[in-house]
Chain A
């Protein structure tokens, strides 16, 4: 098969698409584009949901590496020394402790049970974007006392009546208002609301935060222990590497990467996603294959005499085969191209208008590799679907083809 033969096959293929039945070409291309979209959309959405959840878990729950008490213990002890040790490790951007205590909030007639979290505001900034999520007021200062920041759903909305509320709140707390916090140990104190935040991550939005110094007052002693420490990695450092170094350098606490935690938490979810992805992939491939097979088979059957004539005037059977095969190649490339455009447009739309639920928000998450593998899979499937009938018709004996 030389260059000239391929050139002639390409010319015949192109002209047949251009000047043959337009509607059949357009429909075929649309079907392939739709199959492509179907193949990448659901997996992309699931990836988007997964990525969104993972980002929020990293941001608001565990950082890149979570240091938790060793088994049998309630707290990470010897906190200052542990923090110093972790912070001095290569690859660690910052480690920050967390300590929470059950409490009851009181504001006017409202009472609400929440978990009050103590943080070191300065360090927390390196690990969590909470500071950037203030909707009114401002974030906690390092040594603030008597100040609290609260999540938007906790603050509530004064315009909504209590019985109409989706979830219980304080009924419209505003920055500067005073709220009373009564801790589980009986310690009670009035705090000024310094800021109200909204992260979109529901468990954080249902918390309130006070400074570490304030919590020491609650505990009545210096807080040299924490429930857990979250660690942020410097850019370019692998979580696993940090976990290994921490363990190697004598951090005896229970160290887990986000990956470790997600594997436990999301394993079964990911499995269900994988099954749905596989089904949508198979459906896409099968529809594309069947449609192309039918289109090309009809085309070849309708042009049997034509094919006989071409052979008679000295066109080799390889050229005939590629004439029909290349039509499929061209249509499938066009289909995949439009499929990529369609999914990219949906992706752009979703990034501007994410699918939002109270628990998470999601955009379409597709990497160039996803596009590439799906394109290749679909392309291969269509080439097979097109070349099988093309091969068959090209082998037909001249006499029977010409008399068709």
Chain B
């Protein structure tokens, strides 16, 4: 569970102060598939980076499973990201010189609690899930955008993180590939009870979210459950 109180992030550009986030209060439950939506510049990426421990808030508090993450040292934050968080970026951000398998294994290889066999096993099972086992020895540039994004999701999932963050993962994809990626998220969310926090500004994506938080000028303007979705889940 994530609890946010009074979250502010201000960028100072000389004399000008940009309030990217302006006092946010939000609680995100375990297993939620949360959509963060809003216009460009509304603070979506800023919020995601703060939740993902990639940035420091100017003020306010973030508790993840009761832990105040501002108390962590730099190294502890790195380890927290490695063990508990997963990230999917808009531009896939795969290591261009590593094969698909190497990219996916990379975060697992760094974990002290994983043997080499486990790393291999986990990597293969996640590759199977995204349906790219036969491409394991290919380099990212030899894959389509949709395939690369699926590899990037596999990399984010290989350590079975508590929370998966995705910043506009479909922005570079056509609608068919976007659907493939979103279906994959839904599957992960449903099968593994995976918490997913995803930024999007495509309106049609909201059919995938349980709950939608809308930002405007760094403030939450609406926060609501996706009724249709919940109804669907309730009966399914």
Residues in chain A within 8 A of chain B (CB atoms): 2, 4-5, 7-8, 11-12, 15-16, 18-20, 305-306, 309-317, 319, 398-399, 402
- Shortest Cβ distance from A319 into B: residue: B110
Are B97 and A313 in contact (CB-based, < 8 A)? Answer: no
- Which residues of chain B (117-140) have a CB below 8 Å from chain A? 139
Give which listed residue, B54, B98, B109, contacts A402 with CB less than 8 A.
B54
Interface 9-residue window, one of B75-83, B168-176, B216-224, B227-235 = B75-83
* Cβ contact within 8 Å between A8 and B109: yes
Contacts across chains A and B counted by CB atoms under 8 Å: 72
Number of residues of chain B lying within 8 A (CB) of chain A: 30
The answer to whether A313 and B87 touch across the interface, beta carbons within 8 angstroms, is yes
Q: Is B107 an interface residue (CB 8 A)?
A: yes
Q: Does B95 contact A (CB under 8 A)?
A: yes
Question: Do residues B82 and A20 form an inter-chain contact, with CB atoms below 8 A?
Answer: no
Find chain A residues with CB under 8 A from B106 CB: 8, 313, 315
Beyond A309-B93, A312-B81, A399-B54, whether A15 also contacts B102 by CB under 8 A is: yes
In this complex, what residue of A is CB-closest to B79? A314
Contacts of A319 in B (CB 8 A): 110
Contacts of A12 on B, CB cut-off 8 Å? Answer: 95, 97-98
Q: CB-nearest residue of chain A relative to B52?
A: A312
> B97 to chain A: which residues have CB within 8 Å?
12, 15-16, 18-20
Min distance, Cβ B92 to any Cβ of chain A, angstroms? 10
Contacts A12-B95, A312-B54 given; 4 further ones with Cβ under 8 A?
Answer: A8-B106, A11-B109, A12-B98, A15-B102
B110 and A8 contacting across the interface, CB-CB below 8 Å: yes
Interface CB pairs A-B, < 8 A, 12: A8-B109, A12-B97, A15-B102, A305-B93, A309-B89, A313-B106, A314-B78, A314-B81, A314-B110, A314-B159, A315-B78, A315-B82
Chain B residues packing against A (C-beta within 8 Å): 49, 52, 54-55, 75, 78-79, 81-83, 85-87, 89, 93, 95-98, 102, 106-107, 109-112, 139, 155-156, 159
Residue among A2, A5, A313 with max Cβ neighbours from chain B (10 Å): A313
Q: What are the residues of chain B within 8 A of A2 when measuring CB–CB?
A: 112
Instruction: Quote the shortest CB–CB distance from A322 to chain B (angstroms).
Output: 13
Q: A311-B78, A402-B54 are in contact. Are A4 and B109 (CB under 8 A)?
A: yes
Q: Nearest 4 A-B pairs (CB), nearest first?
A: A314-B82, A19-B97, A314-B81, A309-B93
Inter-chain contact B95/A316, CB cutoff 8 Å: no
| Nearest-Cβ distance from residue B47 to partner chain A, whole angstroms | 14
Residues of A within 8 A of B95 (CB): 12, 15, 306, 310
Q: Say yes or no: A312 contacts B87, CB within 8 Å.
A: yes
Are A7 and B109 in contact, with the CB atoms below 8 A?
yes
B111: chain A residues at CB < 8 Å are 4
Please report the C-alpha to C-alpha distance between residue A294 and residue B96 in the assembled complex, in whole angstroms: 22
Contact A15 B98 (CB under 8 A): yes
Q: How far is the CA of A11 from the CA of B98 in the complex (A)?
A: 9
Q: Within the complex, what minimum Cβ distance (angstroms) separates A20 from chain B?
A: 6
Q: Taking A12-B95, A306-B95, A316-B75 as contacts, is the C-beta distance between A398 and B54 under 8 angstroms?
A: yes
CB distance from A5 to the nearest CB of B (A): 7
Q: Which residues of A contact B49 (CB under 8 A)?
A: 399
Q: How far does the alpha carbon of A42 sit from the alpha carbon of B155 in the complex, in Å?
A: 53
Shortest C-beta distance, B97 to chain A (Å), equals 4
